[in-house]
Amino acid sequence: ALLETTGFFRKFEKGKSIKYQPGVYLYSKHRLDFVWNFRKSQLVRNRYFNFLQHAMDQDNNLLHKHYIPVHLVLTVPHGAGKFKGKDFYARELIETFTKLRKMRFFKQFIYAGEFGVEVKRGKKGNGLHIHIHSFLLQYPEFRVNEVRKAFNEHWNKLTGNSTSYSGISFETLYTVQHLPDGSKKKHYVKPGKSDLSHFTAGVLECIKYHFKPDCLEIEKGGKYDIELIKDILKNTKGLRMYNRIGQFYNEKALCFNHLQNEELNDENINGDAAKAESKVVNPFNYQMANDEDFSYCIGKPDSWKYYPKDSIIPFEPYSLAPQNLINLPKGTDLKKGISLYIKGQFCK
């Protein structure tokens, strides 16, 4: 996935000095491609944001005013790193969750939702920590504690969990406020009382877990758990790790099957290019750059090192490993270069 990722970089020249600047990144659309996951997160979260502003149920209740938004996390007992005899038990976890959703109590308490599977290294030698993050809309006539108790009982029976650890977290959505003293304060979403912005902020905070790449990192600084990546690739072929449930299942406004194709249309290409070129700073004088100040070249993002985001030149490449850069002809703007590259006409 990483090798298929392509970057368009701005090339500034002053005398014999050359400085490069990230423009836009293309991606392989592979489930482990970090750039695609970041972009997919934007698209999915934007789709939910737009949908929830006006979405109603069959009784014309606005979803954000009527239902209780909940974040559900499900884990399973995996002594010696195994669940149902498997070291990599994502399929078994999803199958168990499917059984849970077919139960009468689930349909009684839950109106709609979505879920995704996250895989990361476990602690204390317990193998992989494979779990489900799910955003759910709970019917308002029930108390959260009441529903949590029912989930505990049924999930423990399905997973054969006899330990003191329930294996689930079931909590009303909230946003986090960072206070000046470094502490954090939770603000829970309250249907009918919280405004739309608070409701959607809580939802977007919840579904971000489906796209987090940090579970593949060994440590900060760009080192990754290659063995874990190989495990995921080997064991998830053909496995759907994200899905919608309940009343969201057939909701066309939340269908993401065509996200990849939507990314390739001229409107999106031109829109993304316009954003990337709207605020370009010349790295030699730190003034707003003109089109004549730079040209574009194409390279692999993994061949560069970057300044941190809090530096005076955030994300500017400062070291270039040997690679073959493709220089676009002087005067070729970004949207033209991207369009030709995506359509396979770049070399014509």
Order the strands of the 17-25 sheet from edge to edge. Answer: 17-25, 7-14, 294-299, 326-327
**Would you say residue 347 lies in a domain?**
no
The answer to whether residues 39 and 33 touch, using CB atoms and an 8 Å cutoff, is no
pLDDT exceeds 90 at position 33:
no
Domain that holds residue 139: 58-246
| Same domain as 240, residue 272 | no
Instruction: Name beta bridge partners: 320.
Output: 304
| Same domain as 320, residue 219 | no
Instruction: Name beta bridge partners: 70.
Output: 136, 172
**H helices, E strands: number in the chain:** 10, 15
**Would you say residue 44 lies in a domain?**
no
Residue 61 in tokens = 């209740």
| Same domain as 193, residue 297 | no
Nearest-5° Cα angle at 178, 173 to 182: 135
Residue 329: pLDDT band (50, 70, 90) is confident
**Would you say residue 217 lies in a domain?**
yes
| Same domain as 121, residue 238 | yes
| Same domain as 135, residue 222 | yes
Mean pLDDT of all residues in 179-190: 90
| Same domain as 141, residue 290 | no
| Same domain as 242, residue 269 | no
- The torsion angles phi and psi of 87, rounded to 5 degrees, stand at -75, -40
CA 115 from centre of chain = 12
Q: What is the pLDDT of residues 113-125, one digit of tens each?
A: 999 998 888 776 6
**Would you say residue 119 lies in a domain?**
yes
What is the DSSP-derived secondary structure letter of residue 128? E
| Same domain as 313, residue 213 | no
- Whether the pTM exceeds 0.75: the reply is no
Q: Note the pLDDT of residue 246.
A: 95
Mean pLDDT of all residues in 132-158: 95
Q: Note the pLDDT of residue 348.
A: 42
**Would you say residue 52 lies in a domain?**
no
| Same domain as 287, residue 230 | no
Q: Note the pLDDT of residue 2.
A: 45
| Same domain as 219, residue 173 | yes
| Same domain as 318, residue 291 | yes
**Would you say residue 34 lies in a domain?**
no
Q: Note the pLDDT of residue 272.
A: 54
Residue 257: pLDDT band (50, 70, 90) is low
**Would you say residue 257 lies in a domain?**
no
Answer with the one of 193, 211, 246 that is the final residue of a domain. 246
| Same domain as 236, residue 274 | no
- The torsion angles phi and psi of 168, rounded to 5 degrees, stand at -135, 155
Number of domain units in the chain: 2
